[in-house]
Amino acid sequence: MTRLSRRTAILSAAAAGAVAVGPAAAQPARLVRQLSGYAVNLDTWYRHVPFARRFALARAAGFRCVEFWPAIRPADDLDAARIRKLLEENGLSVSQYAPKVPNFSDPAVHGDLLTVIASAIADAKILGCDKITVVGHALVPGMTREAMLAGYTAGLMRMAPLLEAGGVTALVEPFNTVNHLGHLLNGSRPAVAMVKAVNSPRVKLLWDFYHMQLEEGDLIDKFTAAIAQVGYVQIGDVPGRHEPGTGEINHATLIRAVRAAGYRDKIGLEFIPVADDGAAAVAVMAGLAVPV
């Protein structure tokens, strides 16, 4: 199929199942069940309204779980406690969030890193989630790749006792070298090896299939081989980082394979709906629902 016809087929299947995408009062229990395996990303969806208003839109669409980037948002006058209130008001849970961490490929910032991680663990407790995403692997001028890899690994090892004591998992997110230039970790190979070396139950990978497709492909075999190191999954089609059916990835097959490999957590929808049309993207995801 072409990418347009695949999306059309998914939407047609959703329509055939009488999937509603209207106001919250009109959302049937069936739709809520179909979306129950997903966490909608509030930084890539509903961008036409202020962040605080996106929680209600997620609830109205049929989602019951969200994810987002930082919890501390000075521009929106939000912190973890205020976001927790928004979650409670809208009957939502949060799967993970991404605190801003220093570039800890450089060991010189490891002291600051531990302070940030301690605060992030406290915020995770307020939010009611047990996962935080860490990046912090921008290239450091003057450092060799080997030194940066060693520094990043050491940083993960230093934060691991805090994470284990706090019952929170840090998710290391590799990027890609196509449109995320200037980063140390790209694709699965270096990241899998690093998480294995750290050897902590609270340091895992965020496996974003958008990045993995751009960087290396062979999505199912690589994911299945590394399932023991995976802590969280996100999706987004290639190219464009839009909803399934707009690009080259066969998400129906992919999502079935992810579940067959033993992954049982939420799948994060960190993509930008085409034309910011959340209703159409909801219908697509409902049509791809795979029971957990």
Q: Which residues contact 275 (CB under 8 A, 6 or more apart)?
A: none
CATH number of 3-287: 3.20.20.150
Confidence at residue 159, expressed as pLDDT on a 0 to 100 scale = 98
* High-pLDDT (> 90) share of the chain, %: 89
Q: How many CB atoms lie within 10 A of CB 177?
A: 13
Confidence at residue 265, expressed as pLDDT on a 0 to 100 scale = 97
Confidence at residue 28, expressed as pLDDT on a 0 to 100 scale = 84
Confidence at residue 224, expressed as pLDDT on a 0 to 100 scale = 98
Confidence at residue 13, expressed as pLDDT on a 0 to 100 scale = 52
- Say if residue 12's pLDDT is above 70: no
Both tokens assigned to 167: 């019952």
Mean per-residue pLDDT of the chain: 93
Torsion region of 243: left, alpha or beta (phi above 0 gives left; psi -120 to 50 gives alpha): beta
Alpha helices in the chain (DSSP H): 3-16, 29-34, 54-61, 80-89, 110-127, 145-166, 188-198, 209-215, 219-225, 251-260, 278-287
CA distance 131 to 71: 13
Confidence at residue 289, expressed as pLDDT on a 0 to 100 scale = 81
Both tokens assigned to 198: 């750290």
pLDDT digits 0-9 by tens, 74-98? 999 999 999 999 999 999 999 999 9
Q: What are phi and psi of 82, to 5 degrees?
A: -70, -35
Confidence at residue 63, expressed as pLDDT on a 0 to 100 scale = 97
CA distance 5 to 32: 26
pTM (two decimals): 0.91
121-135 burial, b for 16+ CB within 10 Å, e for fewer?
A: bebbeebebbbbbbb
Enumerate the domain spans of the chain.
Answer: 3-287
In whole angstroms, what separates CA 149 from the centre of its chain? 23
Segment 168-180 mean pLDDT: 98
Q: Which residues contact 10 (CB under 8 A, 6 or more apart)?
A: 244, 245, 252, 283, 284, 287, 288
Question: Please, which residues bridge with residue 38 across strands?
Answer: 267
Cβ burial of 25 (10 Å; 0-12, 13-18, 19+) is: exposed
Confidence at residue 104, expressed as pLDDT on a 0 to 100 scale = 98
- Say if residue 143's pLDDT is above 90: yes
Q: Which residues contact 167 (CB under 8 A, 6 or more apart)?
A: 130, 202
Segment 259-275 mean pLDDT: 97
- Say if residue 166's pLDDT is above 60: yes
Confidence at residue 34, expressed as pLDDT on a 0 to 100 scale = 95
CA distance 173 to 57: 27
